[in-house]
Structure 1
């Protein structure tokens, strides 16, 4: 159904370029905004790579959007042609790309197709040692060329891609990685239910939600858990997510003889439930823009241990402790066990919301950006 405002005008259609949709952080953020924005005024259409594992096409269409499946940008000429054709034939005024440094490609196609408003949205940074970093640095100077507007998930991510001067001049809009805080309100009944499902009722549960990719640093996470287990053999590690490096993680767990104490749950559409069952949430990332799971874990009221490589802007409650990646796994383990099981309560979801991460308020702000941009055309 096409959305219309109170005057009967058809809603603005914004083309969201998300690349792969594998139920990961960026796609989750965009879908959160779509679910909560005023769809009588703005509707999202999506360009999705054909090798996506979990594209929510049915939900997109049920909300009034359209999903266009295109070849991944590794097939560059085919990708550019498809994106150009979609924009040209549907006369999109706003193209909003979430591909970080690689946004140069869809925004080039948008430029050729005549889209007036071309948004480059950065959700990430980089670190030495990752194979992708070389390519990120190659594309970084070009990411802004065809963009008319800059967005970022945090000031840190904005400075990394668009530069200090752009941020300081107010040329980068910070679009918070907002969440539906109600989903993460602590509930003792859900906690007991989750722990019973997994057979870990009496365990000390360390949890992690995230893709098995280089930035998330599952190697260190497993090393940390190994040290925890040596100190407390009643501990278990619960891993929610999927990804290219999952098989390596499984092999590492088996090699360390920890298979009996580690649960690989794969991708879950109900991942929010599992935070309730955790006693500690550990995120030893090599780098992040501003991690959605960092907000979700705090909203659920669980003790949180994050890498000091993550921006401190993610700390919006007293639940967070940052630990350097230079510290040994044993140090992490001792800090986690010292924290123990905190007294869980539901008030943390309100704190996360007041800090600017309640999706209902933030969706209204994003709508205003789109509306203002189109008025200027």
Structure 2
């Protein structure tokens, strides 16, 4: 039985974390023995992993506080489990796993970044300085891969594009959800925009809210549902009040019924100033929901401009507002056609079952190459 450890900074309800969980589950179903390690105390997916019998460990690190003791803790877990593959995700876990490899045997180490922006020059220098300690680095969009090559974080021959995948079975069109959710929220004939994501600077909700204020002036029946939590919630709520949009914007917090919310909405919007490959856009596509997204990172690789949605300039409230109004001006049939094309697109490129098989193939090739290399080493000796 093949063994794999996934290491990531933390477990929260966010895109990268959701992807790791899906990969862990997918590989377990294919016969792998899987462990997950969270550097900081996990705040999501604990029950789900326990129910599936996937062991979850934490290094009990504090967010933003480097702790060299984590190397010893990680080393002990790896030494006990003896994995064939260690697959780390995001900058902190990637660097920790690479450094730990100096002290413990890891047959194959894979590093995955989930954005075209994981920090400034110092972090890119860390990637470059530790590159020899991993077999390969991957990123979740073509745009991000090119960005990392340009920044010299990774040589071109050691980085590759592997997209996120989505469980399409979870996201289907259900008319019953449309009626039930709208009834629960006290919304009926309104045009509902849905936004899902952490309430943090990178998602640029200020620009979204400012743009939506202009949308409401021309379309008073428009409503915006914002799903997620984060450090900016109070600030954003105050901003909504200052614009007198309390009756038009609803903050729903963390929700576990995202598929139902998508089925109850008319369109999806994301206003990030940078991205990797947003899971929420894959989910919106799978839900046949037409999208408006800022043209950053992998957004344009999911949203086909004018086909499954529209792209807007980042950090530009005026352009985002015009683009949202352009979507609202379409007939219902036209928007539904966009949604169908979006689902067909993700079905062809981002189905999680196909992505899991692709990762299996990558792992297999890396293990085979490593085995051949060791045979050559022994022959030379």
Q: Shorter chain as normaliser: what TM range?
A: 0.7 to 0.9
1:70 aligns with 2:59: yes
Q: RMSD of the alignment, in Å?
A: 2.6
How far, CA to CA, are the matches of 1:351 and 1:17 in structure 2?
Answer: 32
Please, what TM-score do these two structures have when normalized by structure 2? 0.86
How far, CA to CA, are the matches of 1:216 and 1:169 in structure 2?
Answer: 29
Deviation at 1:236, TM superposition (A): 1.2
- Residues 367 and 17 of structure 1, relative CA distance in 2, 3 Å threshold: same
- 1:4 paired residue number: none
Q: 2:96 aligns with which of 98, 102, 105?
A: 105
Which whole-Å deviations, capped at 9, do the CAs of 1:325-365 have from their partners, x for residues lacking one? 264x2332233123226333674465134431011122111
Please, what TM-score do these two structures have when normalized by structure 1? 0.87
How far, CA to CA, are the matches of 2:238 and 2:124 in structure 1?
Answer: 32
How far, CA to CA, are the matches of 1:19 and 1:192 in structure 2?
Answer: 39
Q: Which is worse superposed, 62-71 or 113-122?
A: 62-71
Secondary structure of 2:109 counterpart = strand
Q: Which segments of 5 or more consecutive residues in structure 1 lack a partner in the other structure?
A: 1-10
- 2:285 paired residue number: 298
> Deviating runs (4+, > 4 A) in structure 1?
162-170
Q: 1:251 aligns with which of 238, 250, 253?
A: 238
- Number of aligned residues: 361
Q: 1:209 aligns with which of 196, 203, 208?
A: 196
- Residues 243 and 180 of structure 1, relative CA distance in 2, 3 Å threshold: same
Contact residue 291 and residue 303 of structure 2 kept, 8 A: no
- 1:325 paired residue number: 314
Q: 1:59 aligns with which of 33, 48, 52?
A: 48
Q: 2:176 aligns with which of 174, 189, 201?
A: 189
Secondary structure of 1:111 counterpart = coil
Q: 1:287 aligns with which of 262, 268, 274?
A: 274
How far, CA to CA, are the matches of 2:243 and 2:263 in structure 1?
Answer: 27
- Residues 104 and 53 of structure 1, relative CA distance in 2, 3 Å threshold: same
Deviation at 1:159, TM superposition (A): 2.5
- Residues 167 and 161 of structure 1, relative CA distance in 2, 3 Å threshold: closer
- Residues 155 and 30 of structure 1, relative CA distance in 2, 3 Å threshold: same
Contact residue 300 and residue 348 of structure 1 kept, 8 A: no
- Residues 165 and 19 of structure 1, relative CA distance in 2, 3 Å threshold: closer
1:238 aligns with 2:236: no
- 2:323 paired residue number: 335
- 2:71 paired residue number: 80
- Residues 168 and 134 of structure 1, relative CA distance in 2, 3 Å threshold: closer
Contact residue 271 and residue 315 of structure 2 kept, 8 A: no
Q: Which is worse superposed, 243-252 or 357-366?
A: 243-252
Which whole-Å deviations, capped at 9, do the CAs of 1:87-110 have from their partners, x for residues lacking one? 122222321110236511222113
Which whole-Å deviations, capped at 9, do the CAs of 1:116-147 have from their partners, x for residues lacking one? 211110111229xxxx5465445343352421
